[in-house]
Chain A
Amino acid sequence: MLAIEKLSVQFGGIHALRDINLRVAAGEVRGLIGPNGAGKTTLINCISGAVAPSSGAIRLGEVAVERLQPHVISGLGVSRSFQHVQLFGERSVRDTVLAGMHRHIQSGLFAALLGLPSARGVERAARARSDELLEIFSLTAHADETASALPYGLLKRVDLARSLAAQPKLLLLDEPTSGMSEDEALKSIALVRDIAKKNAITLLVIEHNMRVMMKIAERITVLHLGQVIAEGSPSRVQQDPRAIEAYLGEEVSDA
């Protein structure tokens, strides 16, 4: 479903990504790990269209997307969460999740402006669906609160709900559980996996929390300094000497 070929990204003199090759099958849950600065977020940014690659190709099914605008790529069924949660001003939690449904709320401009019954009906349906999502992520109690007033962990759940509201075929998650307690993280990620499996959503997840990663990933790709250094099942990757070396280097610097 997702095919990346010889993808390279250069910022000034820095190679953020170098000749990346990656294939993700439809419905797969793929993990993306690597030390800080490995290029994981840059890769997600390329797929979602936020960053234009210097060279290489990205294909979504049959469609080449590497030069498309982000909202067009989103229209093809790609949705993402953000490492640093991006909120929408003083909007409520419900409105924030609803914003993810923008593409799906189809009503004529004038009908919407005038508040005609047809537009209202579409809006009501959207609200019902977003309330369902809020329920799934245990956010119903906060639905009417201002999103920016919530603690970080809850915001991550709002972000997750929002990215799912867009009914994607490919969901890119950038550290979806950072800021959450261990308990919350495992529960949230299990929820996401269940929803993904139920709706045949392909997942590409960046995570630093290994326990979370091991819980859901079917295959893992390891990035280091902009290149793929290992790929395979979780247990195999855990034992890969190159992956261990990359992380050992990081552990020392983390100390």
Chain B
Amino acid sequence: MTRSATKTVGFLFTGVALMVAPFILGAYHSYLLGLAFINIILALGLNLLTGNSGQISLCHSSFMAIGSYTFMLLSNLFGWPAPLAVVAAVVLSSLGGFMVGYPARRLSGIYLALATLAFLALTQVIIEEFPDLTGGIRGLKLEPMNWMGLPFETKYLIYFSLLASTAFSIYIALQIMDNRLGRAFDAIRTSPQAAQALGIPVASIKLTAFVISAAYAGLAGAMLSMVVGFIDPVEFGVSAALRHITFIVIGGMGSVAGSIAGAVALTGLPEALRPVKEYSDLVYAALLLLSLLFMPNGLVGLVTIFRQGK
């Protein structure tokens, strides 16, 4: 078979497998699959921001937090239909992205990293200081959602919402990579001078990248609330931020395939490490460091080297 025919068959097979998965898999594996989808969405957004437009951001998980809390509060307190609450979560986290990205667009390097770190710390403080709203460090539980009377079991509704969201996220990321926005991202990462000279408005493109990545994070956050049914603010702290960065560093920065590869590869890890949960941070950090040292282009880079070696 030709290579593209193999690819098509592969995609079709994966698509069918994913459609029937919730009916075949047990609860635990469905849950893992759900987490993988969420991590893919997260990684896609972060990769666009850091891998493509070259902006170091340590507050990706804060935008995720905005999405999570928005979804849960709208659903719990106001009974919003789940899909609408998701949209609201994305809108609000995008706004957060704008709030951070706007002042930050003139910053770069460590100054940008510091600014995003400040935002991360700030959101953590806000989460802890307003426990009546956010549940504080104890977290927040999801009440039964409003699915507008759709006649399906909740777990299937959740799964297919998630599947659709993930597919949509991948689709948009692919569009971006193929149009002027993606090219502009790569240009401003590698050569902001040249990009300016070609008429690319660097500051506003950087802002666009922030907003888009925040939207992705918000979507992932809303989905996380749905899938887990509970928010634990530790999901939005510095360790979590580093874990998300690990997805794209290990998968491969700057490519959609890298985001997917990294997210999928590392979703299994915390579950595999559950019996030795205390090691989880250590393993992640070590993997991250080793990957930075020895695998600068991630898994995707390894595949490329392998293919060229053939």
Q: Which residues of A contact B (CB under 8 A)?
A: 48-50, 69-71, 74-75, 79-80, 82, 86-91, 95, 98-103, 105, 107, 109, 112-115, 119, 123, 126, 162-163, 166
> From B190, which residue of chain A is reached at the shortest CB distance?
A89
A sample of 17 more A-B contacts (CB under 8 A), given A88-B190, A114-B175, is: A49-B197, A69-B196, A71-B201, A79-B198, A82-B197, A88-B195, A89-B190, A91-B183, A98-B180, A99-B180, A99-B186, A99-B187, A99-B195, A102-B183, A107-B179, A112-B180, A123-B180
CB-contact partner of A50 in B181, B196, B199, B208, under 8 A: B196
CB-contact partner of B199 in A75, A91, A95, A123, under 8 A: A75
The interface residues of chain B lying within 8 Å CB-to-CB of A79 are 197-199
Number of B residues near A (Cβ < 8 Å) is 28
The interface residues of chain B lying within 8 Å CB-to-CB of A75 are 199
List 20 A–B pairs whose Cβ atoms lie within 8 Å, in order of A's numbering.
A50-B197, A70-B197, A71-B195, A71-B199, A74-B197, A86-B190, A86-B193, A88-B190, A91-B183, A99-B180, A99-B187, A99-B195, A102-B184, A102-B200, A107-B179, A109-B208, A112-B179, A113-B181, A123-B179, A126-B180
The interface residues of chain A lying within 8 Å CB-to-CB of B189 are 89
B residues 149-185 touching A (CB-CB < 8 Å): 171-172, 175-176, 178-181, 183-184
CB-contact partner of A114 in B172, B186, B202, B212, under 8 A: B172
Query: Does B298 sit at the interface, judged by CB under 8 A?
Result: no
Q: How many A-B residue pairs have CB under 8 A?
A: 102
The interface residues of chain B lying within 8 Å CB-to-CB of A71 are 195-202
The interface residues of chain A lying within 8 Å CB-to-CB of B14 are none
CB-contact partner of A102 in B172, B180, B191, B193, under 8 A: B180
Complex Cα distance A114/B176, Å?
Answer: 9
The interface residues of chain B lying within 8 Å CB-to-CB of A70 are 193, 196-197
Query: Does B254 sit at the interface, judged by CB under 8 A?
Result: yes
* A47 → chain B closest CB, angstroms: 10
Complex Cα distance A162/B183, Å?
Answer: 13
